[in-house]
Each structure stands twice: as C-alpha cells, then as structure tokens.
Structure 1
Amino acid sequence: MKTKTHSHQGRLETASLPRIVRDLWRAKATGNLHLWNRDATKRLVFKDGHIVFAGTNVEKEKLGERLVQAGKIDRSVLDLSFRVMERSDERFGKTIVEMGWMSPMEMQRYVATQIKDIIYSVFTWDEGDYRFEAVDDPVPAELMLELHTAEVIYEGACRVINIASIRACVGSWKNGLKLAEGERLSIPVTREDGFILSRVKEGASIGDVVSTSPLGEEESLRRIYALVLAGVLEIEELVEKRKRRPSSDADETRDMTEEERRFRDSLAARHHALELGDFYDRLEIDFGASGRRVREAYDEVMASLEPKAHFSAYLGNVEERLMKVQRKVREAYEVLSVPESRRVYDCRREGQAAGFSGDETIAALTLDRRAQPIAVSGTDSEEAELVFLEAKRLHNGGDYFDAIAALNRAVQLEPTNGGYHRLLAQWLAQNPGCWESAQVHFEQAIAIDDKDVEAHLGLAALHEEASCADNALSVYERVIELDPDNRIAREKLEPQPR
C-alpha cells in the first residue's frame, strides 16, 4: 500500500468526530481514520469518502466473539476455525462459511452489524486521539462493505455523549435556525427529528426551538447538531447582538418603568416558588389534570416566560433567570407528559405526603399488584373492552396521553389479552422515554401469543431504534419463520446497498 500524507490529526476532546467523518466523506477521501484512547484502538476505513470497513483491538467486539455470544457458533468451533485458518490462510468469515456453520448472506449481515457497532462506538468517546492516514488501498476489495455513510454521520452525531462539544459546535442559543436550501444527505427522519423540524419557523432561534421541544435540552441540542451535519438544517450566526446599557444596580432600578419593576419582582418570586413547589405547581395545574391540559399548560407557561416578550435593556440578568425558570417548567413537563413517568411521580408524591419514601411507595404498589389474581372475570373483561374502545377513541382524537392511560387500564383489567399489550406497546414506542415499557408490553404480547407477527415486528423495530441490531435481526428471523413472505422482515434481513 502506498502511504500518502496525513491530513487530519488531533484530540477528540477538541474535535467533532461526526464533522471529521463528514469532511472526509465530502472530500471523497480514501484511507484509514485511526482512533485510540486508554482502553481501545480502532480504525474506520474510507474508500472514495464512504466508510467500507472498521477494525478494533477489543476482543469482545471481534467477529468470532460476537458469533459465540449470539449463539451462532460455540467456543470449540471458534478454536477449530482458527486452526483451519492457520493452514488455509483464509479469513475468519470465509472459513466459517466454508465449514458450513453459516450461509454467506447470514455472515454478511453479521459482519455489517459488527462493523456498524464498531463505528458507532467511537462516537461515544469523549477523549482520545485521532489521525487520518491517506492510502490508496486501505483494505482488500473483498472486505469492503456497502454502508450508507450519510446515515453513519447522522447516527454518529446522535450518539455523541459529550454535550459540551455539541454546545460548542451549535454556538449561541440566539443564533438562527432554518431549513437548509442546498443539497442534503439522504437520511431517514425520526419522530424525534420531527419534534425539532416542526418548531423551526421563520425567525426561530436555537433557543426558541430548544425551549419548546419535548425532548429536553440536551437531546434537542443533539438532534439539532445531527440535522445540521446532515445538511437538513442550517445555523445562522448572530450578526447583531442586543446591546445593553451598562449600569449600576441603582441606575437599573431608577430607570425601570413600573411595569418592568413588577415583572422583575414577580419573576424572582416565581423562581423562588418553583424551588418549593412540586411539578404540578410548576405547570400551574391541578393534580388530576388530563394529558391534554398538561400540554396546554406547558405551552401557556412557556409563552409567558419567552425572553423576547419581556426583554428590556434595564432588566439586567432577567434572561438568565427566565431560562432557569424555563428549565424547571420543562423538567416538570417531561415527567407529567408521559403516563408511565407521571404514575411513578404521583406514587412518590403521595407516598411522601404519607411519610414514606418514594421507593417504599412504589415497592408497596408493585407488591400489591403482584398479589392480585391473574384470572379475569367476565365483568372485568367487559369493562376492559369498554375502556379499550375509549382508549382508541381518545387516540383517534389526538389525545395521546389520556389514550395511553386508558389502554393501560384495559391491560390491568385483562392482563392476558395480548392485543391490548401489543397496541399499548405500539403507542408507547412513539415516545423515546417509554421504550423500556414498550419492550415489556411487546414481550408480554409475544408471551401470550408467540405467533403474533405484528408484536414481533414491533419489538424488532424497537430494538433497531435502541441500536440493538443483533436483537432486531433475531426477531426478524423469527418473523420469517412465522411468515416466510413477510416483506418487512425480508427487507430488513437483506444486505443494505450503499
């Protein structure tokens, strides 16, 4: 291999790895991107800008170990394959196929999954070094895979843990945010991206989008960062900053209008009250408020806290205080807007009022539920059906949160109804904060009826969303066993083109 000059090197603490990968993709670079930290050494292999291979020195990430862990081969077969390789000088994957343990297509799927996992793992590093080495033929042609590099850039950006580096790349919250006008990378848009894109309107700033997003501050910034790198969004740097007249505290108070003074004092009092109140107080709603009311209250409170509506040159640090209050309101909304987390919060709230810790209350509640008999009476079954129909009506009317609560009630009334579990899982899966609960209900539906193809497909899709590719493949393989002509499963099990 002919080595050329190094074009990129540095520390990951001060660099954006997704941006480095994007730049190499745009430059149609060919070579090895070496990455290393205290625990591992890895490399991403580029050919004409596309990632075609990845390597690692971490034993558990190597293909043989992964196949053993997945149950595709056992340890004795792994050892035997190594001895065969010594005599034949063939590569591991080809050796396993020729020994008859896996088909070429199945091996290709596992290799592709392994490579993607190695690639995505480095995006979670928050320290280490990198160096790009440009070479003509980084790996033999037969080892090159056809990966969708645009998706790798986007997915990698979504996995960055170091929020400080994301903040540095995104810049000031006062910067504008708009839909890109030029060429965009081809990526699938997720529900989380939809939350962000729906809030990008003319004149919107990053702060505007983040403050109204249900994803929370860090995840919203992470999604904005990924969409910018993917060329879907563009950041407009702030050209003119608001100018505040420097003044002493005395000048500030003297020059305030009566309205400004009242607002400053009320904001300080509100901030103090939020420190003492619970989540319902933060949204200014009653304990039994519906899911729809929670959403409405959140929008109303956040609108009243919009910095642009109250900015004055003489209010000093009012914007900073507004942002603190907004964070507390957003924290309350993120809990109360999701039925599962709201129930947990309510249990803790009621338990603390009775003198118990939150954990004691939830433990007692769990034990109480487990003690209830599983048998369902005719009356319970009929009531469950009525509640189920009401849940569907609420969902069709757009009241997602109340629909979830109603369907969960139907499940409690008739826990052996797999259809209820499946539908509840499908609805919960629409919210990233409920993925764990969704998985439980998908698995419960399958336990009740192992031939429920729809539940299997939902569980597989959930595994994909959670980046558990091996688990997803196993479930899709089960779908093929149940329904050999299932189009979705077949497409998922086919190698993906670049």
Structure 2
Amino acid sequence: MKEMQGELATRALPDLVRDLHAAEATGTLEIEMQGQRRKLHFVRGEIYLPAATPLARRLAALLAEEHSDGHELTALVQRMVDLTSSWREGSYRFLESKDDSGGELVGPLPTLEFARLGGASTSPEAAEAPTESRPSAPPGPPATDPLAKLGGERARWITVPKRSGSFDPAEQWVLEQLRQPRTLRDLLEDSPVPRAELLETAAKLAAAGYLRSLDRPRVETGAFEFQSETLQRLRLRIASFLEEKPLDGDLESQRSRVMELLATREDLDHYQLLGIGPFASTDEVQRAYEEMARLVHPLRAEELGLAESAGALTELFDSMTTAYLTLSDNERRRDYDRQHGLGPEAATVTETSPTAARQEEREELARSYFERAMAYEARAEIHFAIEMLTLATATDPTHAEYFLNLGRLQARNPNWLRRAATSYLRGISLSPREIPPRLELARILEKLGELPRARVQYHTILRIDSTHQVALARRQELEERIAAENRGEGGLLGRFFRKG
C-alpha cells in the first residue's frame, strides 16, 4: 500500500483503522502526540494486541472459548476504544511490515467493530469518500473531563493510608490498586469497569482526599511578584532594625547558616526559606522573617566574610521578603499553598472538614508514609521509599527523622547528592545536636566539591564534641587542601609552578 502519514486533526483514528482493514495492511500505526508515541499493530488488516498486556490476555481467553459471550468481546472492544479515545491530536504514520505471522501479538480484535464504536462510518460509500470530505476528529476533552482533572494518563496517584469510609466495589478496587504509586494509564489498562466510570470514581476519591497526586507541578518560589520599591523599603527597615538590635549569637554559626541558604535557596519553598512549618501562624511568620532577614541582610556581607557575595545576599534577602509578603497575606498564602500542595490547603480533606487539619491526624498520616517507606526500603524498592518519605516530610515537616532518612536514600544516587544535602540540612535544623547526620552531610559536600561548607560541618561537630576523632582528622585535611588550593598548589598549574 502507498505511504500513509498525516495529522489526526484531519483524519480521525477510526477512519485510519477502517482504511488499513480494507487494505489488509500488516505493520504498525504510530501516533505521535505531546511527546509520546502510541502504537496499534495490524496483521492482514486486523488489530492485534501485544501479548504482555492485560487486554491481550483477556482477548486470548475469549478467543479460546468455544462458546464465548459476544457481549464480553464487545465490552473488550469498547475498552480498547476508551483507551484510544484521547488519540485525537498529533501526527500519524503507518510502518508496513512483511511479517504477517503476528509474532508476540494476540488477535484478531474485531477491527470493524472497533471502527464502528469509535465513531467511523462503515458504509462502502464512506470508505470511498475523499479525505477532504471526511469529518475532522472531534476536539480534545474539555477542562471538566475527569482525566484532565486528574492530570492526564501519565499522572501518578497513591492511596492516602489509614482513612476510614464506606466504598462501593469500584472505589475499593481503585484504593487497593493505588496502595503503591501507579499511573492512570496503568490503572485504565487493568480496570474491570469502563473507562468513564473509572475516571469518575478516581476523581471523586481524589476530591474527597482518599487519593493523593505524586505529580503536583512545582511552582517557582517567586509565584507573586512585588514591586522593587516594596522590597527596597523592607531592606531599609531591616537595616534600621539591625542598628537598633544587632543579631546575637556565634558569628561562625551564622556564616555557616547563611552559606547553606545561599547554596540551597533555589530548592527551598517559602516556608523552608523562613525556617517554619506549613502550619505556622501569621505571628510566627512575622517573627521568623524578622530573625532571618536580619541574618541575611546584605549589610552584613562584610561582617560574615561574604563581601564577594553581597549581590547573592541581596537576592536571598529579597526571596525571604517575597516569602514573608506572600505568607503574611491570607489570600496570597492560600493560593501559594494550593499551587505547592503545602499548608492547611493540602492537609484538609474538604474545605468544610474541621477535623482534617488537626495536628494529630497530620502526624499519624506522615508516620504511616514513613512506615511504608521503610517497608519499601526493606524490599529494595528505593524509588517508592523516596516517594513515601517525600510525602512524609511534606505532610509533617517537624520530624528530623523523615528528612534525614530521605537524605540518606537520595545520597545513594550520585545525581541526587545536592537533593540529599538539602534534606540533611532540613533534618539537622530540626535536630542540631546530632553528630551522625552532620558527618553524612559533610561527606556529601566533599563529594560535591564544596570543601568550605564541609569544613563548617566538621567544625560544628567539634563544637558539640571536641574529641571527635573523625571530625578532627577530616577538618585538618580539608584545611590543608583549601590552603593548598589558595596557594595555587591544588592543580596542574600549581604543580607546574612548584617545579619552576
């Protein structure tokens, strides 16, 4: 047959299927849409399914039955129509194959029935009609489509544990299937109910708080823009405040804290920047800002030994001011919490549920996430363990244990060392007297090549325990390495000049 390719906007999928059936084509119809590639396999004009899929296994069972129920086969075809109903925009092409044995495929699926249920005409007149006269594909699903509400087929969801309720069989099936993270696409392929019913069920459970998305989009820290005059006015106010009431405390510890904030600023949300939890009161936001703004004010650059980083300090100060202006305004804070999945907006099951925001429930939910994470780790399912620990830290950000274990698992991946450092920093801020986490953080910082920050951690350990042998040895070695690099002895050029 001649080459077949084009756009789905001008050629509906059921029409393509009918044409391939009429041509008794063998090969693969590839659909490219939104960066994803989908495939339909044809053998002598009939649709065949990959043998490993649940639909293929069910099709094989029905075809093997001598007296199979025609209604069941029609229902299976309808499932296939449902799964392909979103293939409405993008490009298509047919790759012809000479092998008509079917290979690792199961079939045939009743292909003309698929085309009929998909909305294409099966009359001979329609088959001979020119392309231009055929109706275009229907528009994509409206914004109220349950699939759109749930984030699309690739969105991952998980059941919120330890929640009671009365559920019908479809709801029970969804909750059971999502006890570990799965995509909606996987769920649809295994669903015992029609596509529309499953999506409505999942959307209802999500709205009631029984399901939680693992793909909530990240929003940039500066979600709200404030006039530069406003930021400048607060810089002047804090500068005046600093003159009246200088910040107390150990200067080296303050410098260490500021350096950590400078290194991790882009990875922190508003609450983390101010060092408070998502359920902090407005007064707590105010007090935290006054303390942190005095700590990082650019006027302190020289005092902290960070004169060369004055510009970065100004950016950090403005980020904290933006966080303060956002979280101290109820309406802006609600919007920010919804976008980030933080604060009371994320914890409530419904807007009218007064009990969902209780601290005990949040702690219980976070603890259940943590326990599931440990179970996943015991089974060497590290990715799922990290997912659960991330949920635990978001649900209850007051437990050092959650952050420290998250950092420990993230550190297993060399590409996630910076994330691990951020998690360790959060955990250490909640439990600053523990030495083992600081040792692990220092080792991570060494791997990242951030020797001054690693030295700060060893120095802090020695302030807690002046006899700690590992910290003594590592600090001395780092000081020698840093001094050598400052003298130009750390690289090839340094060795070259020493020879001269």
TM-score by length of 1: 0.29
Structure number with the bigger relative contact order (C-alpha 8 A, sep ≥ 6) is 1
Asked which structure has the greater CA Rg, the reply is: 2
